[in-house]
Amino acid sequence: MKSLLTLVVAAVLAAGAAGAEPLDRDAVLRLARERSPQVLAARARLDEADGALATARSWAHNPEVELEQVRRATTDRAWRVDQKLDLAGRGPRIGAARADREAAGWERLDAGAQAAAEAARAWLTATHAGQQRLLATEGVTVQERLHAAATAREAAGETGALDVALATVALARARAGFAGDRAAELDALAELAALLQWDEAELPQVAGDLDWPAPPALADVREAALTQPALRALAAAAAAAAKRRGEAGALAWPELGVFGGGGREEDTDLKQMGLTVTVPLFARGQGERRQAAAAARLADDTFTATRRARLSAVTAAWHRQDELRAAVEANGEAVAAALDASVRLAESAYRLGEITLDEALLAQREQLEARRELNDLRLSAALAALDVAYLAALPPLHEGDGR
Percent of the chain at pLDDT exceeding 90: 55
Residue 289 and residue 296 in contact, taking contact as beta carbons nearer than 8 Å: no
User: Of 175-179, 288-292, 358-362, 369-373, which has the strongest mean pLDDT?
Assistant: 175-179
Judged against a pLDDT cut of 90, whether residue 63 lies above it is answered with no
Rounded to two decimals, the pTM is 0.82
* Average of per-residue pLDDT across 211-240: 95
pLDDT value of position 19: 55
Indicate the domain borders of the chain. 4-391
The residue ranking higher by pLDDT, 288 or 186, is: 186
Percentage of the chain with pLDDT > 70? 92
Q: Rounded to an integer, what distance in angstroms lies between the CA atom of residue 369 and that of residue 178? A: 13
pLDDT of residue 4: 46
Question: Is residue 334's pLDDT more than 80?
Answer: no
pLDDT at 345 over 60: yes
Q: What is the pLDDT of residue 263?
A: 87
Specify whether the CB–CB gap between 163 and 357 falls below 8 A: yes
ω before 396 within 30° of 0 (cis)? yes
**pLDDT over threshold 70, residue 16:** no
136 φ, ψ (degrees, to nearest 5): -65, -40
Tell the CATH topology of 4-391: Outer membrane efflux proteins (OEP) (1.20.1600)
- Is pLDDT of 230 > 50? yes
Greatest CA separation for the chain: 138
pLDDT at 223: 95
Residue 243 has pLDDT above 60, yes or no: yes
Q: Check residue 252 and report its DSSP letter.
A: G
Query: What's the alpha-carbon Rg for the chain, to the nearest Å?
Result: 36
Burial 245-282 (b: 16+ CB within 10 A, else e): bbbbbbbeeebebebebebeeeeeeeeeeeeeeeeeee
Residue scoring higher pLDDT (5 or 380): 380
Q: Looking at the predicted structure, is the pLDDT value of residue 401 above 60? A: no
> In sequence order, which residues have a C-beta less than 8 Å from that of residue 308 and are 6 or more positions away?
none
Mean pLDDT of 167-192: 95
Give the other-Cβ count within 10 Å of 299's Cβ: 20
Average pLDDT over residues 28-33: 95
| Residues 361/170, Cβ–Cβ less than 8 Å | yes
| Mean pLDDT of the residues in the chain | 88
Quote the Cα angle for 125-129-135, to 5°: 145
User: Average pLDDT of 79-90?
Assistant: 84
What is the band of 356 on the pLDDT scale with cuts at 50, 70, 90?
A: confident
The pLDDT, as a whole number, for residue 25 is 95
Average pLDDT score over residue span 117-121: 97
Strand duo 268-277 + 75-84: pairing: unpaired
Poorest-pLDDT segment among 209-218, 304-313, 365-374:
365-374
